[in-house]
Amino acid sequence: MRELSLHVLDIARNSIEAGATALQISVVEEPATDTLELTVRDNGRGMDAAALQRATDPFFTTRETRKVGLGLSLLQATCERCGGALEIRSRPNEGTEVRGTLQLTHVDRPPLGDMGKVVQALACEADRTSLRYRHQTVGKRFEIDTHELRKELGGVPVTDPRVLCWLAEFVKNGIISTGSKA
Amino acid sequence: MKTREELRAIRERAKAALAVRDSEGGLRVVVAMGTCGIAAGAREIMGALLDELSSRGLSDVSVTQTGCRGLCDREPMVEVLIPGRPGVSYCRLTPQAMRRIVADHLVNGQVVNEYAIGAGTEA
């Protein structure tokens, strides 16, 4: 993946496939410890210990149509290549949390990229899965929640293309306003 | 700069449109968003699709997603579903091709053969 935001989209798609009704994504930049932390948390069906153990194995998948599952293993490879690690916590019927850390200034670290378009793509499923996105830098924070947005919109769906186009730009600008270096 | 005020303006316009919208609709575009699709550029295809729908005021086309469809080498892919007609899958898309599919297929009902595969094979 050329951008970290594409990894986030990929992992968050797993959450939606796992039947999550609530999805939380956070990106935290900590220059003091030189870390960039990406977290995707859901309330989907979760994994048992056996599945969790094999989750980052590219030749493990729970689907029956194919024999490979590359998303988590690709993110793990990216994190480890950039002086970080991937951590997954999960409980059956409760949900899953995927947390990737990378060295913020690592020379091989891909850029975060267009997170606005990622939030936009995920918000297409806002009727089924609400999304909260949080971006944090030193002393600054940007946050958006499709659940709040829905209230603000009255009867107009979050999935209206005009709303989704607004959302992509709003998130992009919101992240810029935090002084993001990611 | 996108602001909350702009969102409220969209809401008011959309509400007015909801009141007059006729009930035909039922058009659907499914964007493949598996790992392979995302790596091949599905996010940009989605962005171009939504932008084109937004600027043409086609707010009743429903946009959904699916995972890997098993043709990873032909990603990015979308499927266009129009009630009463066979579904059409499009592959190896570019944002420009996606915009053309909105104009030619969704608006004018003409399949864009250049990018189509499996026309008529999926219900």
Tell me, what's the ipTM?
Answer: 0.92
Residues in chain A whose beta carbon is closer than 8 A to a beta carbon of chain B?
1, 6, 9-10, 13, 16-17, 63, 65-66, 70-71, 74, 114, 117-118, 120-121, 124-125, 149, 152-156, 159-166, 168-170, 173
Note whether A86 and A78 are within 8 A (CB): no
Query: Which residues share a beta bridge with A144?
Result: A133
Contact B59 A161 (CB under 8 A): yes
- Token representation of residue A98: 């995927």
What value does the mean pLDDT take over residues A113-138?
A: 97
Rounded CA gap, A91 and A93, in Å?
Answer: 6
A 10 A CB-CB count for A3 gives 17
pTM of the model: 0.92
CATH code of the domain occupying A4-177:
3.30.565.10
Cα A3 to Cα B44: distance, rounded to the nearest angstrom: 13
Q: State the pLDDT at residue A59.
A: 81
**Residue whose C-alpha is closest to residue B43's, from B93, B79, B90, B118:** B93
Contact A40, A17 (CB under 8 A): no
Q: Which two tokens stand for residue A151?
A: 């209230």
CATH superfamily of B23-122: Glutaredoxin (3.40.30.10)
Q: Domain coordinates of chain B in residue numbers?
A: 23-122
CA B49 to chain centre: 5
pLDDT in tens, A33-47: 999 999 999 999 999
Length of chain A counted residue by residue? 182
